[in-house]
Structure 1
């Protein structure tokens, strides 16, 4: 069974690489949009990047987090045998190297022209809306001969797209579970959540509870701690921007259930494995469909069983529905390609 799954993954990986190379060879096709699940691999670009850099053609790789490039950089360093890349930060001008890495925040400082620009919105938690990405790509379009976009959705309508499945593991994409309640979430929790908390505790899970703001985080923490007395059986942590150095504390906790209540989203929790996610007040405007989808992608990376993403709210927002629909599209596509068990 393991060998069959690996064969499926290799076929999908090779399919993606071949389609990327085929697109690059087409003179009349400048933009290419690869659509896939969050946290899929960046290895599909290794072959093309190696070819261009070896031919002394400049490549710019843009992502949401510098750490997301580590695997790709390690491979290229091993293949090419020396440091062939530069990381552009804080508006610094590029070096003489042919491969440059940067993040979304530095796009406005880019002045050089490139043979290829890769905009990777997949490998790390995305902070940009679709409109922000479109505006960035409009600027980058004039800076390159070829522009490749790696995202969870179609960014432009007037360019070819390639849909690829998970090139890392044969597993369904986690679909968010929407749970609505008449309970005032500021003062109480739905009965159904008690059952989940019991399961989380029994299985020593790490649970991240996302809230819209710091005030709501403090309110929920006080209720869980003072009223429910959860801290007697679960490590309960209130986490804010000032606590980012405490990530090592979370990583060090083993074989004990942990519950983190926070208004922070994004890469700060990327290093924590085997987690479940609960979103309180999920109908709040701060939570858009992309945030939900990347949360689903995060729990889907669990080394053991995939985690859960539970969206608790009094109403169902359009973004909640869009996230569930998009997750189903991912699974339908992978099922049709034979990538799921």
Structure 2
């Protein structure tokens, strides 16, 4: 991460009158932007509270700072915990960081704000490390995706009058045919198990031949998906009723959210899917939101992806520059 950012964070930590800071970047950015500050706090015998979304974040921090092995005796100065454990974390901290970037955001923004409000009185400095501004009336540093020529997949919005609880519109069927032809890995989110069954039955009636590429995630799990995608000579279409990023499956996905206007999907989750489509390499997949009407969450996701790409372009990070 740039030396300029490290210096800005150091100056904020040592001199700023503002106790808290928003550090805004794209999902899955990693620990790089806060690494030097974390190291500096620990080297000066300061206490660091690092709140993660899941176990993967915890391992990412340990791997980045200590090559996977936590030094002996550091436990008293470094606390790494998830959301629930942070609610019972005790003691005073020189620096607290809430990492909202490196794991799928199952927590809503209001929940994150509530937790930060709970720990705020017990830390000297606090960073909300997120893809959006979490804290109000504080300074914000924005970090572009950074120097790899990558970009964020902007979602393609398809509106239809078809009853999408029971049917797959022709446009989505044609996309599936194209993905099969191109031997792509596809994730289709349906929202619930009953709808998954209805849609796969409908697809079988329309074109039974395509069913040889279809797999129910509930039947195989993440390990089964990982084994299936090793066969790169054919397409794989995974139907999932629960939204997740399936980050342990080491491929990019073409992603279809069938019924993206459902209240169960919010912009935080939809945004992460846009980044997930290009997580493993620079060959980004398509992200398609099928809906009967665009919702504020869909609009916000679209605007956020465009903003990230605009920042990349203006900073000269894109490969076209």
TM-score, scaled relative to structure 2? 0.91
1:142 and 2:121 equivalent?
A: yes
Give distance in 1, aligned partners of 2:68 and 2:84: 29
| Alignment of 1:216 onto 2:195 | yes
Distance, in Å, in 2 between the alignment partners of 1:228 and 1:300 is: 29
What's the CA shift for 1:75? 3.3
Secondary structure at 1:155's aligned position in 2?
A: coil
CA distance in 2 between partners of 1:292 and 1:339 (Å): 24
Unmatched tracts of structure 2, length 5 or more: none
Q: 1:226 to 1:195 in 2, by over 3 A?
A: closer
* Counterpart position of 1:5: none
Task: Output the CA distance in 1 between the equivalents of 2:50 and 2:16.
Answer: 21
Match for residue 282 of structure 1?
Answer: 260
Of 15-24 and 116-125, deviating more is 15-24
Q: Where does residue 137 of structure 2 map in the other structure?
A: 158
C-alpha distance in 1, partners of 2:264/2:197? 17
The alpha carbon displacement at 1:267 in A equals 4.9
Paired residue for 1:188? 167
Q: Select which of 140, 148, 151 maps to 1:169.
A: 148
- Which of 43, 57, 64 pairs up with 1:68? 57
What is the TM-score with the length of structure 1 in the denominator?
Answer: 0.86
Task: Specify whether residues 184 and 230 from structure 1 end up closer, same or farther in structure 2 by C-alpha distance, changes over 3 A only.
Answer: farther
Aligned residue for 1:204? 183
The offset of 1:182, in angstroms, is: 1.8
Query: How many pairs are equivalent?
Result: 319
Given that 1:40 and 1:167 are in contact with CA atoms closer than 8 Å, whether structure 2 keeps it comes out as: no
Query: Per-residue CA shift, 1:292-312, capped at 9, x if unaligned?
Result: 100001112241410111001
Task: Name the stretch that deviates more: 224-233 or 177-186.
Answer: 224-233
Any unmatched runs of 5+ in structure 1? 1-9, 86-94
Question: 2:166 and 2:284 mapped to 1: Cα distance?
Answer: 30
- Tell me: CA distance 1:52–1:246, structure 2 relative to 1, closer, same or farther (3 Å): same
Task: Compute the RMSD of aligned alpha carbons.
Answer: 2.3
Cα offset, 1:230, TM superposition: 4.4
Relative distance call for 1:140 and 1:82 in structure 2 (3 A) is same
1:262-312 deviations in whole A, cap 9, x for unaligned? 122225444331211100011110011111100001112241410111001
Flag the 1:169–1:65 CA change in 2: closer, same or farther, 3 A: farther
